[in-house]
Amino acid sequence: MTELLKIEGLTKAYPGVVANDGVGFSVRPGEVHALLGENGAGKSTLVKMIYGLVKPDSGTMHFAGQSFAPADPRAARAAGVAMVFQHFSLFEALNVAENVALGMENPPPMRQLAKRIREISTAYGLPLDPARLVGDLSAGERQRVEIVRCLLQDPKLLIMDEPTSVLTPQEVEILFHTLRKLSAEGTAILYISHKLEEIRTLCEGATILRAGKVVASCNPREKTARELAELMVGAELKVTDRAERKLGDVVLKVSGLSLAPLSQFGPSLKDLSLELRAGEVLGIGGVAGNGQEELLATLSGERPSAPGTVSLMGEDISGLGPNGRRAKGLLAAPEERLGHAAVPAMSLTENAILTGTMRKPLTRNGFVDQGAAKTFADEIIQAFDVRTPGSHVAARALSGGNLQKYVIGREVLQNPAVLVVNQPTWGVDAAAAASIRQALLDLAAKGAAVIAISQDLDELMEISDRFSALNEGRLSASRPTQGLTIEEIGMMLGGAHGMQEAAV
């Protein structure tokens, strides 16, 4: 037996799209295998079928030499398949051990479980204190909880769907260390990511999907990231071009902004100040959970702040709500797509109305103009290459990256004077990410000011003129991006959480 997982002719259709079309590939024991593809190529659908969450319409799977058709995730787990989802499914108010126990069929007594968690987590270089509250953990540590939960089942195949999009570079290092160790012990890993450099360092095999079909398989180490991206897209990749920009007057000024935490476990913002000029892109780096969400909420107007703290073109707007700010040209795109930037159950047209009424003529005397709204939605779909059957589709039916394109497009097409985006290319494929970045640069070139909050430092280096770090609710003074070295950025970021103990 050389193959652990062998898939042949797997097909799954959704109304209007064939998400997987006769997909076949195989994974050897101990192999770290990448699944690559554009947004909506069908990667998540494919692994959900392996994990028993989605039933294939046709096709066969073999696992460890036996025919494999898991009816539900429990059956898949019993066979030795474990999966770490992109979105954490953890309870913040429970501690680590309790969270792990919740995911098990027959959890052992707490004391024993805590001991096992400690053993496994140190053995794999992912130190975790079983008694800590999950709410107090960083994103990287939360992911460790999910991974440890999987490892306790002693899986033969570990599936990871975009695991690194929320991690800092240091945390990614630690994760890779763990994955290599697992692979050396014979555990196969199926790895989905849009970060091609990561894939080149980690994976030894790759299957590339395009529009639900396997279009290539290769050894990613023998290809450049660019070649991989071009295989995915089936066309040549455009490089973002950064037009010469002229900086204008200060349009947004934040001074002495402090804010209590949004939630019990969130950070507070402490005495934040920044200045933004027309035509400028300010990159704000740092690990998610250090005030990024809070910063976006105060700038968007969801959480108004003390008088005199935020001013737009010289006018104090601290007390204005989101629509008041939109009317004046300050727009925002939050990080969480489903339930914050978009309403999952509503159509794309309705989601266009969500933020579009202040700057686009989508209403007449307060009444919604359905035709205009649909036109605007179609315009976004067209301009940002959102892959979907149409504007009548509910937001939740879009693949993650496509919804992200839609959300960013909706704000960009409203011609903002200032646009604040949080994780603009989170979960977006290389080509689409490049086009989103290009759209932000074009916006700045037209004279708008942009704040890009992101964990992806390469991204920030690529698009921003100045760089600041947000750490534990404090914003560092900004520095011009040109000539900034990785070490200097590291200093500004002030180190990741739990790094020392984790450097096993």
Ligand X SMILES: Nc1ncnc2c1ncn2[C@@H]1O[C@H](COP(=O)(O)OP(=O)(O)OP(=O)(O)O)[C@@H](O)[C@H]1O
Which x/- pattern, by CB under 8 A, does the window 397-416 give for another protein?
Answer: x-------------------
Strand ranges (E), 336-471: 363-364, 367-368, 418-422, 449-453, 466-471
Residue type, 102: L
Query: Which parts of 362-381 interact with another protein (CB under 8 A)?
Result: 363, 366-368
For residue 226, the partner it binds in Mg ion, ligand X, another protein, none, with Cβ less than 5 to 8 A by kind, is: none
Interface segment toward another protein; rule CB under 8 A; list 266-274, 310-318, 328-336, 448-456: 328-336
Judging by DSSP bridges, how do beta strands 466-471 and 310-312 pair with one another?
Answer: unpaired
Residue 217 main-chain phi, psi, to 5 deg: -135, 145
Judging by DSSP bridges, how do beta strands 188-192 and 157-161 pair with one another?
Answer: parallel
The answer to whether residue 435 forms part of the interface with Mg ion (CB under 5 A) is: no
- Closer to another protein at the Cβ: 97 or 297? 297
Query: Which residues are within 8 A (CB) of 344 and not within 5 positions of it... i.e. 6 or more apart?
Result: 338, 394, 395, 396
Helix/strand/coil (H/E/C) assignment for every residue in 240-270: CCCCCCCCCCEEEEEEEEEECCCCCCCCCEE
The answer to whether residue 231 forms part of the interface with ligand X (CB under 6 A) is: no
- Closer to ligand X at the Cβ: 210 or 253? 210
The answer to whether residue 498 forms part of the interface with another protein (CB under 8 A) is: no
The answer to whether residue 18 forms part of the interface with another protein (CB under 8 A) is: no
For residue 246, the partner it binds in another protein, ligand X, Mg ion, none, with Cβ less than 5 to 8 A by kind, is: none
**How far apart are alpha carbons 288 and 153 in whole angstroms?**
29
The answer to whether residue 260 forms part of the interface with another protein (CB under 8 A) is: no
Residue 496 main-chain phi, psi, to 5 deg: -85, 165
| Token pair for 52 | 């028993």
Query: Which parts of 15-44 interact with ligand X (CB under 6 A)?
Result: 17, 19, 37, 39-44
For residue 387, the partner it binds in Mg ion, another protein, ligand X, none, with Cβ less than 5 to 8 A by kind, is: ligand X
- Closer to another protein at the Cβ: 397 or 460? 397
The answer to whether residue 255 forms part of the interface with another protein (CB under 8 A) is: no
The answer to whether residue 474 forms part of the interface with ligand X (CB under 6 A) is: no
Query: Which parts of 275-304 interact with another protein (CB under 8 A)?
Result: 300-302
Neighbours of 230 (CB within 10 A): 16
Short-list 481, 480, 471, CA closest to 285: 471
The answer to whether residue 393 forms part of the interface with another protein (CB under 8 A) is: yes
- Of the candidates 18, 250, 343, 445, which one interacts with another protein according to CB under 8 A? 343
**How far apart are alpha carbons 34 and 222 in whole angstroms?**
14
Query: Which parts of 44-73 interact with ligand X (CB under 6 A)?
Result: 44-45
- Least gap, CB of 167 to another protein (angstroms): 24
**How far apart are alpha carbons 105 and 152 in whole angstroms?**
12
- Closer to ligand X at the Cβ: 43 or 497? 43
The answer to whether residue 354 forms part of the interface with another protein (CB under 8 A) is: yes
Instruction: List, in sequence order, every residue forming a beta bridge with 483; answer none if it has no partner.
Output: none
- Of the candidates 140, 400, 416, 424, which one interacts with ligand X according to CB under 6 A? 400
| Token pair for 259 | 């804010």
Query: Which parts of 127-166 interact with Mg ion (CB under 5 A)?
Result: none
For residue 285, the partner it binds in Mg ion, ligand X, another protein, none, with Cβ less than 5 to 8 A by kind, is: none
The answer to whether residue 14 forms part of the interface with another protein (CB under 8 A) is: yes
| Token pair for 466 | 């100045």
The answer to whether residue 265 forms part of the interface with another protein (CB under 8 A) is: no
Residue nearest to Mg ion (CB): 44
Neighbours of 107 (CB within 10 A): 15
Angle between helices 139-151 and 110-123 (to 10 degrees): 110
Give yes or no for a contact between 54 and 5, defined as CB atoms under 8 angstroms apart: no
- Closer to ligand X at the Cβ: 193 or 422? 193
- Closer to ligand X at the Cβ: 37 or 70? 37
Short-list 69, 58, 75, CA closest to 20: 58
The answer to whether residue 44 forms part of the interface with Mg ion (CB under 5 A) is: yes
| Token pair for 267 | 């950070």
Give yes or no for a contact between 493 and 456, defined as CB atoms under 8 angstroms apart: no
The answer to whether residue 321 forms part of the interface with another protein (CB under 8 A) is: yes
Binding site for ligand X (CB under 6 A): 14, 17, 19, 37, 39-45, 387, 397-402, 427, 429
Binding site for another protein (CB under 8 A): 14-15, 55-57, 59-61, 68-69, 71, 300-302, 321-324, 326, 332, 334, 336, 339-347, 350, 353-355, 357, 363, 366-368, 392-394, 396-397
